[in-house]
Structure 1
Amino acid sequence: MPDEECLFCAIAAGERPGHVVFSDDVGAAFLDVRPVFKGHVLVVPRAHVETLTDLPVPLVGPFFERVRAVAGAVERGLEAGGTFVAMNNRISQSVPHLHAHVVPRNRKDGLRGFFWPRTKYDDAAEAESYARRVREALDGSLPSDG
């Protein structure tokens, strides 16, 4: 169930603004407002759970199918050399709602270790252009059962 106080639940429900890449009954994906690199997407389960160990076992597979699809779409849509996929559980988790970071990567992009420098979009139009490119690259790659 969504948590009325949770920012990620509100974005997934369309009650708060966000540059949404996809949304279905399993989860949602939207741009991180403080991206490591432009095009950094957060994938969240629709159910409000705080950590990976709180995610009900029947949702683990469907959730990670969406993470997998977004990782591919980020690479294709942004012409990235690869992606960095990560999640925090409690420590360093700025919003207490499970989320997988899908960060576009390229060789010599400067990301080293676990220091995550942050950037920002010039404006909402630039952010939406990144979301659109990932959204278009997702076409047909998400499971149809969700």
Structure 2
Amino acid sequence: MDCIFCKIVSGLIPARKIMETDNSLAFLDAFPVARGHTLVIPKKHYEKVQQLSKEDNADLFETVRILTSKVDALTGSTLLAVHNGRGAGQEVPHIHVHLIPRSQDDAAGPVHSMFTKRPAMSERELDELQKRLA
């Protein structure tokens, strides 16, 4: 497999590991956007969250929960981000959770600032979306 994260899991590519469980691995991002930017991945290859087994999902997000306190201690706040598929900005097609230390002076802004083209939706459209997603 030509997946960089699978190569990290197998030891073919070195990483600055922070935490490891039977099913998950956490390490510092090689191209951090903030000091302490950490990635948490399942050891098995999955491209999207909905593909995770229940066991791998539970382990992944328990690892995220534990590490969030440590990352949060760096600046007081942590952005948790998952890009679920290429269209969502996922650059490596192996599910990963970003834990990014944030502070008010980092100029990154809230998640809504990422989207300059937002949909205008009617009440009817919102009702239809609610029904579709519920």
Tell me if TM exceeds 0.5: yes
For 1:106, the equivalent position in structure 2 comes to: 103
Point out where structure 1 has 5 or more consecutive residues left out of the alignment.
116-146
- CA contact 1:20–1:29 (8 Å) conserved in 2: yes
> Does the alignment pair 1:84 with 2:79?
yes
Tell me the TM-score normalised to structure 2 length.
Answer: 0.75
Aligned to 1:65: 62
Bigger CA radius of gyration:
2
Contact 2:42–2:96, Cα closer than 8 Å, also in 1: yes
Structure 2: gaps (5+ residues): 115-134
Question: For residues 11-70 of structure 1, what are the alpha-carbon distances to aligned partners after superposition, in whole Å with 9 as ceiling and x for unaligned?
Answer: 122220111112221110111122121210010001110010110123222210001111
Structure 1 match to 2:36: 39
Q: State the SS of the aligned residue for 1:83.
A: strand
The one of 85, 88, 93 aligned to 2:90: 93
Asked if the contact 2:24–2:56 (Cα under 8 Å) also holds between the matched residues in 1, the reply is: no
1:8 offset after TM fit, Å? Answer: 0.4
Give the helix-richer structure, 1 or 2: 2
User: Identity percentage over the alignment?
Assistant: 36
Query: Normalising to structure 1: TM-score of the pair?
Result: 0.70
Q: What count of residue pairs does the alignment treat as equivalent?
A: 110
